[in-house]
C-alpha cells in the first residue's frame, strides 16, 4: 500500500508522463487506415509510431496525448501540419508529396497513436 502511494506521488510530481497506448491497427476506421498507409510511405523511414524510441526523428507515439511536441510547440493539428508541409531542421518538407486528402488521413492516423 505504501509503495502505491510513493508511486502515485512520483507520478504526480513527474506530470504523469505515461499516456494510454495507441489504438490497435485492427481497430482503425477506414480513414485512419488510409492515414496509416500514408505514414508508412512518407514518415516510417524516420519516425517510429508504436515504439517510444528515436529513429532519425523523435517517436510519434502518443504525440497528441501530450500537450507539447518534442520541440516544445503545442501538439495541435496546426503545428503538426506546418511541420509536415514545411519541414523542420533535419526533417524535409513533405508538402509537395502529399495532397490535402492524404494530409487529412495522416492526421487522423496520428491522433490514434
61 touching ligand HEC, by CB under 6 A: no
**In sequence order, what DSSP letters do the residues of the chain get, joined into one string?**
-HHHHHHHHHHHHTT----PPPPPGGG--HHHHHHHHHHHHHTTTT--SSSSS-SSS---TTTTTSSB-TTSSB-SHHHHHHHHHH-BTTBPP-GGG--HHHHHHHHHHHTT-
For the bound state, the minimum distance from the C-beta of residue 55 to ligand HEC, rounded and expressed in Å, comes to 8
Of 65 and 88, CB closest to ligand HEC: 88
113 touching ligand HEC, by CB under 6 A: no
85 touching ligand HEC, by CB under 6 A: no
For the bound state, the minimum distance from the C-beta of residue 64 to ligand HEC, rounded and expressed in Å, comes to 9
Show Cβ contacts of residue 26 under 8 Å, excluding neighbours closer than 6 positions: none
88 touching ligand HEC, by CB under 6 A: yes
46 touching ligand HEC, by CB under 6 A: yes
The residues binding ligand HEC (CB under 6 A) are: 42-43, 45-47, 56-58, 60, 63, 69-71, 73, 80, 83-84, 88-92, 94
Amino acid at each position: 500500500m505504501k509503495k502505491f502511494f510513493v508511486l502515485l506521488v512520483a507520478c504526480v510530481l513527474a506530470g504523469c508522463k505515461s499516456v494510454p497506448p495507441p489504438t490497435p491497427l485492427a481497430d482503425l476506421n477506414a480513414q485512419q487506415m488510409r492515414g496509416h498507409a500514408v505514414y508508412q510511405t512518407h514518415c516510417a523511414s524516420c519516425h517510429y509510431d508504436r515504439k517510444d524510441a528515436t529513429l532519425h526523428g523523435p517517436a510519434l507515439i502518443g504525440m497528441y496525448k501530450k500537450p507539447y511536441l518534442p520541440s516544445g510547440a503545442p501538439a495541435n493539428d496546426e503545428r503538426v501540419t506546418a511541420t509536415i508541409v514545411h519541414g523542420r531542421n533535419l526533417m524535409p518538407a513533405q508538402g509537395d508529396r502529399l495532397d490535402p486528402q492524404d494530409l487529412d488521413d495522416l492526421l487522423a492516423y496520428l491522433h490514434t497513436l
